[in-house]
Amino acid sequence: GGDIMTVNLVPLLQKAQNGDEEPLLELFFSFEPSIINHSRRYSKQVNKDCYQELAAQFIVAVQSFDIDKYLKE
């Protein structure tokens, strides 16, 4: 299993994958600081295109995350 933070994400992931927007947003906002960091890697400003791309990829990753496989490890 993962660390405490990751373990707590599993119920949120399951709800988000069932189409519930609230847990999806909760997941997103808990990861947003690192998304912003990556969006600012090359300048002081947040690169909006980069931010949107990372946000979209994050949502795809949440929806396609294989929880069962993760829990078996």
- What are the pLDDT digits (tens) for 7-62? 678 899 999 999 999 999 999 999 999 999 999 988 889 999 999 999 999 999 99
Q: How far lies 14's CA from each of 1, 2, 21, 39, 66, in Å? A: 16, 16, 11, 27, 10
pLDDT at 55: 95
d(CA 52, CA 73): 32
pTM: 0.77
Three-state DSSP class for residue 19: coil
